Chain A
Amino acid sequence: DSGVTQTPKHLITATGQRVTLRCSPRSGDLSVYWYQQSLDQGLQFLIQYYNGEERAKGNILERFSAQQFPDLHSELNLSSLELGDSALYFCASSVDGAGYQETQYFGPGTRLLVL
């Protein structure tokens, strides 16, 4: 158990809908990262938050947004969903995250299926 929790574990929805994925980092970790893993693209970095502020942005679509709250949990919002958004979404956390020179602890993932 990494100490990172993600809810829900599975999500099935329809095209055009909006969903929210939730992540709680390990106690004491200030950085949260979101990743998408699809069959054709593999793992991709979406976005990083550090202590409530956006720190780095990767291949995140404009239809997707994220935020980190004062209690450090984070939410990833996916809107106007398309079939191609079906993927595993992982959250990870680390103490600081500067330079990515720290171990990241991964949550169990949320499996999203868009029908």
Chain B
Amino acid sequence: KNEVEQSPQNLTAQEGEFITINCSYSVGISALHWLQQHPGGGIVSLFMLSSGKKKHGRLIATINIQEKHSSLHITASHPRDSAVYICAVRYYEDSGGGADGLTFGKGTHLIIQP
């Protein structure tokens, strides 16, 4: 069964620091999603990537298709960025990726201290 690996599992940083969260997957994908889950449980979609790089405010997401790797960066981090960040991929049907739909990583628990 192909999995989505995220690192680190937990990250505590000081306000203002540059944050990087990594996501690796094993076979070909058609899409990669970054999600943010707030402490109250709500989930917000941050980015959908199939190639290249996307930026929204202080958030930047990149994907390297050849290396099967994506990163989520947060610049000038703030305590309100404290959340769980989840990577999810959609494997190509013929890639041997397994189950249909999205396959999720276990998440990175980020705490930004003031």
Contact = CB atoms under 8 A, between A and B. Distances in A.
Mostly, the B contact residues are: strand
Contacts of A48: 100-101
A106 B104 contact: no
A79 interface: no
A33 B101 contact: yes
B102 A42 contact: no
B104 A43 contact: yes
Interface in A20-74: 33, 42-45, 47-48, 56-59
B73 interface: no
Interface of A: 2, 33, 42-45, 47-48, 56-59, 88, 90, 92, 99-106, 108-109, 111
Interface of B: 30-31, 33, 35, 41-45, 48, 50, 86, 88, 90, 99-107
